[in-house]
A and B are shown apart, each in its own frame.
Chain A
Amino acid sequence: GAVVSQHPSWVICKSGTSVKIECRSLDFQATTMFWYRQFPKQSLMLMATSNEGSKATYEQGVEKDKFLINHASLTLSTLTVTSAHPEDSSFYICSARKDGRVEQYFGPGTRLTVT
């Protein structure tokens, strides 16, 4: 199997606070995980590549100090949205890749609403 979970599935927070989203590969180890953002009726936008034991690689235009990524183990990556603002409201999806494979397996997503 290739099951990826995300927690929480939805979260509402106040402007200025920080929110942490967890991504876990449940039945396989993943050296590499990815974080995406998706707007309604649009495709996925890659935010960063999360590498176990090393710093994440951020895509152009994504603020690394705002979107903190930690990949502390082979089955867990976290995304922390710091000092969240309403414009950060979105659907955040993570994926994990089995080592040596090209396919990515996606989590169910986290709906973030910043009020």
Chain B
Amino acid sequence: TQLLEQSPQFLSIQEGENLTVYCNSSSVFSSLQWYRQEPGEGPVLLVTVVTGGEVKKLKRLTFQFGDARKDSSLHITAAQPGDTGLYLCAGATSNTGKLIFGQGTTLQVKP
């Protein structure tokens, strides 16, 4: 069974601080997606990483896929209250198209 361990599960920080969220697995994924979800809404796709070692930037968010495609990280620089939400990593299995989701990280950024 493929599992994605996401950490930390909860994070409360002050505006302007930096943070990193991690997703780790013993399995190799063909790709990994990061989503952000606000209460009462569906997840919104932030990025897809496919190549081992790949780094993608989305404004203040930096996403990295591990060389072995087993782990990924999301780094937020100078967090803003608008970054508050549930962040989910999801690894794609190769044939079925199903996503394996991490447990999620609830981020609260206080002004």
What is the interface of chain A, defined by CB distance below 8 A to chain B? 2, 4, 6, 32, 34, 41-44, 46, 49, 91, 93, 95, 97, 102-109, 111
What is the interface of chain B, defined by CB distance below 8 A to chain A? 6, 30-31, 33, 35, 40-45, 48, 86, 88, 90, 92, 96-99, 101-104, 106
- Interface residue from A43, A104, A106, A107 paired with B103 (Cβ < 8 Å): A43
Docked Cα-Cα span, A43 to B102, in Å, equals 7
Main secondary structure of the interface of B (DSSP, over half): strand
By Cβ-Cβ distance, the 8 closest A-B pairs, closest first, are A106-B42, A43-B104, A102-B92, A43-B101, A108-B42, A106-B43, A102-B31, A109-B42
Main secondary structure of the interface of A (DSSP, over half): strand
Docked Cα-Cα span, A106 to B35, in Å, equals 10
A46 contacts across to B, CB distance below 8 A: 98-99, 101
Are B97 and A107 interface neighbours, CB within 8 A?
no
Residue of A with least CB distance to B32:
A102
Name 13 extra pairs, CB < 8 A, besides A43-B88, A103-B45. A6-B42, A34-B99, A41-B106, A43-B101, A44-B43, A93-B42, A97-B97, A102-B31, A103-B33, A104-B45, A104-B90, A107-B42, A108-B42
Are B40 and A102 interface neighbours, CB within 8 A?
no
A93 contacts across to B, CB distance below 8 A: 42-43
